[in-house]
Amino acid sequence: MIERGQRFLQVSQPRARGRRWFGAAIGALAVFALAGCGSKTSADKAANGGAIELLNVSYDPTRELYKDINAAFAAQWKAEHGQDVTINMSHGGSGKQSRAVIDGLEADVVTLALAYDVDAIAQNSNVLARDWEQRLPDASAPYTSTIVFLVRKGNPKHIRDWGDLVKPGVAVITPNPKTSGGARWNFLAAWAYGRKTGGSDAAAEKFVGDLFGHVPVLDSGARGATTTFVERGIGDVLLAWENEAFLAQKELGAGKFDIVVPSISILAEPSVALVDANATKHGTTAVAEAYLKFLYTPEAQELIAKNYYRPRNADVAAKYAGTFPKLDLVTIKDFGGWQQAQTTYFADGGVFDRIFSGIKR
């Protein structure tokens, strides 16, 4: 009887221990979780070793272009310095990519759709020098492009110029200028046509308003818009980067589309820049600068032309003159530069918002 009683008395002790154990387990879990995060990062760093890695944060349609450029640059750097260099790529909508670099994506170089998105990085973070545009030739835009029309084979709606886009029964596909770099170039090209034919900004606003009344789908990026037009078969005409239009025509639906070059368009100048603070931190400044300068060499300019971007180099441009039709091109300077164009047309409460809220749907 006494033995039993003693045993019974012990009961409360292990239970108390159980509760203490529980607290300790929670504490250990927290420590474990934190330690997991910390050690992971240092392991990443150590794995780098001798070879150099660069991160190029780019916009949507340049995937094919930089695949070629990176291979050529890596071969040249290896030959000259005996060092392996790997260029990692990140692609997405230009504005989204700019935001990611501001939020800490450690790009060594950015190659974005327009100067405004590089400016945004310089203004909203301290990783990029504000005078970036002056550091490379041609305002840091080693290649250009323009905005053209992609229509269905045989051009059944007889689209020849901007004016034909606002005829009854024509559906136009363009991405959203709020989120897409390419769409902002589209918008300004249409504006340039409206201003030229109507003679005033008021006439241009009327034309662009009519044009957006013919848009059934606003995708958030250029690739999405191309997929809408090509894969889903929506719309009669796609306002597209010239390089994207060539790609869709040659690679996607051979014989399914025609390119129509309008009478007037805009010279789109995609910008490239070194992200100073990140490159300094990674010790990659020299190779990153060489990479950007490489874009201006005849070898890279050839690759640029082959990927349907307009080369800056006069010799290469002459060689590919047959590929790229001549047309009347306005530039962003005709709109007072990107800062002013962004504020006037695309900022909240700007012209695009006014136009878009006026469209009856």
Partner 1 sequence: MTRGAASTPLARAALLGIALAFLGVFLVAPLVAVFAEALSKGFAAYGAALIERDALSAVRLTLLVAAISVPLNIVFGLAASWAIAKFDFRGKSVLITLIDLPFSVSPVVSGLIYVLLFGAQGWFGPWLRAHDVEIIFAVPGLVLATMFITFPFVARELIPLMQEQGRDDEEAALSLGASGWQTFRRVTLPNIRWGLLYGVLLCNARAMGEFGAVSVVSGHIRGKTNTMPLHVEILYNEYNFAAAFAVASLLALLALVTLTLKSILEWRYGIHGRTGY
- Give contact residues for partner 1 (rule: CB under 8 A): 7-8, 10-11, 14-15, 17-19, 21-22, 25-26, 29, 32-33, 36-38, 40-41, 44-45, 55, 60, 63-64, 88-92, 100, 102-106, 124-125, 127, 223-224, 227, 251-252, 281
Sign of dihedral through CA atoms 276, 282, 285, 288?
Answer: negative
Please measure the distance between the N-terminal and C-terminal CA atoms of the chain and give it in whole angstroms: 90
Q: How far is the CB of 18 from partner 1 (least distance, A)?
A: 3
Nearer to partner 1, 128 or 211 (CB): 128
> How far is residue 107's CA from residue 90's CA, in Å, rounded to a whole number?
9
Instruction: With CA atoms as reference, report the closest residue to 326 among 312, 315, 310.
Output: 310
Reading the block at residue 325, the tokens are 């039709």
Nearer to partner 1, 157 or 178 (CB): 178
Nearer to partner 1, 220 or 344 (CB): 220
In degrees, to the nearest 5, what angle opens at C-alpha 71 toward C-alphas 70 and 75? 115
Nearer to partner 1, 47 or 314 (CB): 47
Q: How far is the CB of 228 from partner 1 (least distance, A)?
A: 12
DSSP β-bridge partners for residue 54: 87
Q: How far is the CB of 221 from partner 1 (least distance, A)?
A: 9
Nearer to partner 1, 125 or 344 (CB): 125
Q: How far is the CB of 33 from partner 1 (least distance, A)?
A: 6
Q: How far is the CB of 74 from partner 1 (least distance, A)?
A: 14
Strand locations in the chain, DSSP E?
52-58, 85-91, 109-112, 143-152, 172-173, 237-241, 257-260, 264-268, 271-274, 310-311, 328-330
> How far is residue 302's CA from residue 299's CA, in Å, rounded to a whole number?
5
Q: How far is the CB of 147 from partner 1 (least distance, A)?
A: 20
Nearer to partner 1, 88 or 323 (CB): 88
Nearer to partner 1, 15 or 326 (CB): 15
Q: How far is the CB of 41 from partner 1 (least distance, A)?
A: 5
Q: How far is the CB of 189 from partner 1 (least distance, A)?
A: 24
Q: How many CB atoms within 10 Å of residue 234?
A: 15
> How far is residue 160's CA from residue 167's CA, in Å, rounded to a whole number?
12
Nearer to partner 1, 177 or 224 (CB): 224
> How far is residue 54's CA from residue 331's CA, in Å, rounded to a whole number?
31
> How far is residue 150's CA from residue 229's CA, in Å, rounded to a whole number?
9
Q: Do 312 and 137 meet the contact criterion of CB atoms below 8 Å apart?
A: yes
Q: Do 351 and 178 meet the contact criterion of CB atoms below 8 Å apart?
A: no
